[in-house]
Amino acid sequence: MKKVGDVELRLAKGPVPHYKELKELERSIVKVIIEEFGTEELIKRYSNPLWFNSLACLLGFEWNYSGMTTVTLKALKEISIEDNLPIIVLGGKGKDSKITEEVETKDIKDKLKDKIKDVSITSAKVDNYLIQDGYNLYFHFLISDDRGNMTIINQKMSIKEQKVRRFHWININYFDDSQIGFGSNTKTLNLSSKESEELRKNILEIINNERTEKIKEYIIRLKSYQNKNNTILKYISKENNDYIFYQELPYYLKIPDKIYWKALEINRTVENFKDLLFIKGLGPGLLRALAYTAKIIYGSELSWRDPIIYTFAHGTKVGKPYYVKRALMLEEAELLRNAIEEAKVNNNFKLRSLRKLNELIDI
């Protein structure tokens, strides 16, 4: 899988009074896209963070609130079942997020089931363990077709910040540098980026070649530096040849007080970093400690690049990152306009949706 984009949103609570109308409108849009372009194109569109935001705005959501993710996808799941659509829709919030269990209840070929399980677990581990930003995964969703085209949409929450972050995946690689999205940046240890490739190799070197007691010794020593000096970043972080981040580490980037040391007692060689993510008990705290240790031992660089950056759906009038693709905008608008007209919702809701569509086109 390839990371396609990331979005930061505000945490929202409360019911959605127009759920019936938005569901019928989304039903029409989904059916039109499948009929016109097929299931692969539908999956690609849901994997695009800004297209998804535009869809949610058409359905009546504010552009930066968390419900635009959970409610829009909850409706899609219900629609796929009610209309027997040629897509597989799994996951959700809380207990409904266990895709590996839910997929066993579906009539799907074993090979595709195995792929879904693998993609589900790995994408969740990457977003929760390798993107260390103080947010925790609470929503996990998958859309697939019977040919194995699929997208994963994960959402993480920070109770402290009262915000959520949404991560989009599409077919290709587990670790990729083309992460795009939009939102405000936060202090992030990014172990999934291309810059961290050498660091990931060095973490494997430590796991495979060092005795467990020796690894514990390294980590405990680093933790003592952290407690004594309020930070360990001044020993391990450089940017433009100048040491930075002398301030105290955020709580979510510190080496934790409790570490599950048994996760280090591996009786086999870990061949790749993906295998490491499947080790029972190896959580983000221990992984973070191993990253700091790898920096001290091997000198490999740590990436503090937050994957949340601005993204463009159709370019801009000044040509950054490219000029507006007006024909594409009008083509998509026409498709959505037809879908709105076909929707089995009341006229007032249709008119509001069309006005919203016109506003989006004029932006």
Q: Within its chain, how far is the Cα of 205 from the centroid?
A: 28
73 Cβ contact partners less than 8 Å away, ≥ 6 residues apart = 92, 141, 153
For the chain, what are the domain ranges?
2-183+325-362, 194-298
Q: Which residue in 154, 151, 140 sits closest to 43, CA to CA? A: 151
Q: What is the mean pLDDT of the chain?
A: 78
pLDDT tens digits, one per residue of 298-336: 888 888 887 765 444 444 444 444 444 456 555 666 777
Residue type, 225: Y
Residue 293 is encoded by which pair of tokens? Answer: 């240790």
pLDDT tens digits, one per residue of 21-36: 888 888 888 988 898 8
* pLDDT attached to residue 175: 53
pLDDT tens digits, one per residue of 223-279: 887 777 655 655 555 554 433 444 567 888 889 988 999 898 876 678 889 888 888
Q: Which residue in 105, 4, 12 sits closest to 48, CA to CA? A: 4
pLDDT tens digits, one per residue of 217-235: 999 988 887 777 655 655 5
Q: DSSP assignment of 305-324, as one string?
A: --S-----SS-BTT-SSSB-
Q: Taking the CA atoms of the chain, what radius of gyration do you get in angstroms?
A: 22
Q: Is the pTM of this model over 0.95?
A: no
Cα 168 from Cα 50, distance rounded (Å) = 10
